[in-house]
Structure 1
Amino acid sequence: MEARQAEIAEGQVIVYAQDECHLLWGDTTGYVWGRRNEKTGVPIQNIKQRQTYYGALNLYHRDFVLMPHDGGNSKNTVAFIKHLQNLNPDKKLILIWDGASYHRSEEVRTYLNQVNEDLEEKNWKITCLLFAPNAPEQNPVEDVWLRGKNFLRKHFYKNKTFRQVKRCFSDFINQQTFDFNKIDWYFKKFHNLYRKTI
């Protein structure tokens, strides 16, 4: 990405770290204070209830895009890519994600080939890069999910239904601008230099 510093700083290229999160009723369970040698119950109505979220963290401006889906799969991955394109019309996108099978599926590759058809690689509208295999610590979106789930655990008593859990999780994430030190791994060399000029 160093070769594209100016384009990124000028907003012509948007760089996202991307990941999926599977939110469960059980994610609201945390530790609470109670009397010694006495069990404290935390009510959970249906631990099997589940919501998948697709998320993308803009590694330059540090804002976050969150989108609920019914699962992680090829169809929803293409839908999320289209959503990012709609948010950034006439921009080139770089997506950095893990090696999930649906990221590499025929449906996703077909869509990327259609979008980038007949373009040289340097002019692709969407470029996908992989994090190292089995290295979730490289992806700052994992830290976003962790913060969201920790917030749920601290406020478990407010959410009596899974609908409330989902709303609490998405409201928390949508109100944040994330500024992890991990993001500097990608832009530390030039972020401050270019930010001053725009």
Structure 2
Amino acid sequence: MTLIELDGTEWSILMKYKEQAPYKLMRLKAEALMLLHENVDIGTVARFVDRRPSTVRAWVRDWQKMRLASVHTGHAENLNASKLTADQRAQVAQILASPPSEQGLPAQFWDVPNLASWLHNHFEVVYESDSSYHFLLHMAGMTFHKPEAVDKRRGDEATIAKRMAEIHQEIAPHLADPDTIVVAADEVRIEHEAILRRAWQMAGTTTRIEVDRQRQAQSYIGFLHQDDGKVDLRRLDWQNSDTIIEALTAFTAAHPKKKIVIVWDNAAWHRSKALRAHLGPGNLLERIHLIHMPPYAPDHNPIEHVWGEAKTSISNIQRATFDQTRTAFEGFIRGNKFPYRLE
């Protein structure tokens, strides 16, 4: 049995302590605890960190009592009881308003290890509980959530803003024309795999539930109407030029005698030669006018918010079959009007 059990968060924090902690003892403790978690013999760990086995055992006992706070103890005159003054808290709030890289820390975002390192270096303050660091982060107006990924190929914000202004100007007369439909369009893909975790059952018995363990997926294209917020949702066999042409053909058939303006991204099948061949006077999609958004700027396409809402609506319920998952996704979108518009 391992002497140390670490969860994912503790492992991540100890890894940062091992690489970035301001004191050698902190780095050695973090490394020893991680090795012990991996079932490395305590004697081997002691030799690796150049300490006696009895010292490493003491680190284990401290860990069992104080968890991450134990990594800070035993150095710098044991300043765990130190507190920040009101002026120091104000300085911390000001520092947290800028990225840690501006303080010489190799990170894009503030986290507990980086904040702990900065506080110790500047004020010789070490808190025993991570919640104290969380309080400081909240005090600075920060919240804990997943950062938004941004494609490196994305243009600068001024260029994107200029293109969006051009789009607004272009669609303005169409929005005022009752014979024209303006939509924001995009494709999405949902996946399903039944994963059975735990269920309450009588002790000593086994309950079996039949589920479909095959992973399945469904692609869609959606047209978010800019007048009333309804979404015209259509299934796709795949996302390519042929399926998009079929979907556009069906969409135009559903709105006879209407001119259609579609604002969407720059996916290859949105600009393909096959699609362009169907546009223009006398062709199958002659009533459609396409407008392309700035490259790699999906956050400006309002239907992305629809996909986010719809996926959230089905994410907390494990359905036994893919048809049930698909029906729930489609029902949510078709049963609602959405407030998202091209802005």
Answer whether TM exceeds 0.5 for this pair: yes
- Counterpart code for 2:265: D
- Counterpart code for 2:320: K
- Quick one: distance in 1 between partners of 2:272 and 2:296? 19
Pairwise mapping of residues 50-129 of structure 1 onto structure 2 (< 5 A)? Answer: 50-113=217-280, 115=282, 125-129=287-291
TM-score normalised by L of structure 1: 0.72
Asked if structure 2 preserves the Cα contact closer than 8 Å seen for 1:116 and 1:126, the reply is no
- Quick one: distance in 2 between partners of 1:176 and 1:116? 33
User: What is the aligned length?
Assistant: 160
Q: Name the larger-Rg structure.
A: 2
Seen in structure 2, the aligned counterparts of structure 1 residues 9 and 114 have a Cα distance that, compared at 3 Å, is closer
Seen in structure 2, the aligned counterparts of structure 1 residues 5 and 138 have a Cα distance that, compared at 3 Å, is closer
Structure of higher RCO (CA pairs closer than 8 Å, 6+ residues apart): 1
For the residue of structure 1 that corresponds to 2:296, the secondary structure is coil
TM-score normalised by L of structure 2: 0.43
Asked if structure 1 preserves the Cα contact closer than 8 Å seen for 2:174 and 2:182, the reply is no
Partner of 1:132: 294
- Counterpart code for 1:67: R
Q: Deviations over 1:12-56 (max 9, x none)?
A: 111110000011116x98xxxxxxxxxxxxx8823x311000101
Q: 2:213 aligns with which of 23, 31, 45?
A: 45
Seen in structure 2, the aligned counterparts of structure 1 residues 4 and 184 have a Cα distance that, compared at 3 Å, is closer
Q: Deviations over 1:70-96 (max 9, x none)?
A: 111111111111122112211111111
For the residue of structure 2 that corresponds to 1:112, the secondary structure is coil
- Quick one: distance in 1 between partners of 2:224 and 2:299? 15
- Counterpart code for 1:175: G
Seen in structure 2, the aligned counterparts of structure 1 residues 98 and 52 have a Cα distance that, compared at 3 Å, is same
1:17 aligns with 2:179: no
- Counterpart code for 1:74: S
Seen in structure 2, the aligned counterparts of structure 1 residues 177 and 5 have a Cα distance that, compared at 3 Å, is same
Partner of 1:8: 175
- Counterpart code for 1:131: M
For the residue of structure 2 that corresponds to 1:94, the secondary structure is strand
Asked if structure 2 preserves the Cα contact closer than 8 Å seen for 1:74 and 1:107, the reply is yes
- Quick one: distance in 2 between partners of 1:104 and 1:184? 21
- Counterpart code for 1:138: H
Seen in structure 2, the aligned counterparts of structure 1 residues 44 and 137 have a Cα distance that, compared at 3 Å, is farther
Q: Post-superposition shift, 1:60?
A: 1.7
Partner of 1:196: none
Partner of 1:161: 321
Q: Post-superposition shift, 1:106?
A: 1.5
Q: Post-superposition shift, 1:10?
A: 4.0
Seen in structure 2, the aligned counterparts of structure 1 residues 175 and 98 have a Cα distance that, compared at 3 Å, is same
Seen in structure 2, the aligned counterparts of structure 1 residues 92 and 71 have a Cα distance that, compared at 3 Å, is same
Partner of 2:309: 147
Q: Post-superposition shift, 1:7?
A: 4.7
- Counterpart code for 2:321: T
- Taking only the aligned residue pairs, the percentage that are identical comes to 28
Q: Deviations over 1:95-145 (max 9, x none)?
A: 11111111111210111135569xxxxxx6221111110001011111111
Partner of 2:140: none
The answer for unaligned runs of 5 or more in structure 1 is 30-42, 118-123, 186-198
- Quick one: distance in 1 between partners of 2:300 and 2:264? 10
